[in-house]
A and B are shown apart, each in its own frame.
Chain A
Amino acid sequence: AQSVTQPDIHITVSEGASLELRCNYSYGATPYLFWYVQSPGQGLQLLLKYFSGDTLVQGIKGFEAEFKRSQSSFNLRKPSVHWSDAAEYFCAVGAGNTPLVFGKGTRLSVIA
């Protein structure tokens, strides 16, 4: 069965520090992988996606993610976090034309 694990429920980082949010997936076929962000009181916004090709994908707001098939991981990174990045981050897996399976999310807090 398809599943997504986000091991960290809550992460706190200082503004300007680097960030890495972990995501591990279980999927029977070649996965499509996504990261979404949900700001307080808002809907979900797509940050980036991986379908094939280059395993390092760039997204909006300075985020990037790296697909590592051997580790079944798709970790999200940002070199320097801004206070406005405080939000809930969801990793998801799918395979085109099927609904996504979401992880439980990681809440990011940013401190001065």
Chain B
Amino acid sequence: SAVISQKPSRDICQRGTSLTIQCQVDSQVTMMFWYRQQPGQSLTLIATANQGSEATYESGFVIDKFPISRPNLTFSTLTVSNMSPEDSSIYLCSVDQPGLALQETQYFGPGTRLLVL
């Protein structure tokens, strides 16, 4: 399975500031995803990070608030812009990795725990 690392692992930020979260994978992957997990909640997909093109955002998420970069097949960043306390969440990077018969499995990074004051 892919080994995924995220930086930072946690941060405390002031409202109105921005934070960029990095996701690094130990192998080239086609699909990378960013999820948000609000306190006590399940995972919600923010966007799919596409290599060489703009990210594809889910309903309720916009590029101005969550700009994403995907410069190559092993790395992506998610920026949480102009933060408010409502942005306090765990942000998770995930990748698709093909297995047998092209069956793909999603693996997750350890997450970035963000607290906005």
Contacts and interface: CB of A to CB of B under 8 A. Distances in A.
A43 B31 contact: no
Interface stretch (A19-27, A69-77, A78-86, A99-107): A99-107
A103 B42 contact: yes
Nearest to B47: A99
Nearest to A96: B104
Interface in B48-65: 48
A97 B45 CA distance: 14
A104 B103 contact: no
A49 B107 CA distance: 12
A92 B107 CA distance: 12
A36 B111 CA distance: 14
Query: Size range of the interface on A?
Result: 20 to 34
A37 B28 CA distance: 25
B104 A90 contact: no
Contacts of B42: 90, 102-105
Nearest to B111: A43
B91 to A, nearest CB: 11
Given A90-B42, A102-B43, A43 B103 contact: no
Contact of A43 (B41, B104, B105, B110): B110
Interface in B86-117: 92, 94, 96, 101-111, 113
Given A42-B110, A102-B42, A104-B42, A97 B104 contact: yes
Contact of A90 (B43, B96, B102, B107): B43
A46 B103 contact: no
Contact of B1 (A41, A42, A46): A46
A31 interface: no
Contact of B103 (A32, A45, A102): A32
Interface of B: 1, 30-31, 33, 41-43, 45, 48, 92, 94, 96, 101-111, 113
13 contacts: A42-B110, A43-B92, A45-B108, A46-B105, A46-B107, A49-B105, A96-B104, A97-B96, A99-B45, A99-B48, A100-B106, A102-B43, A105-B42
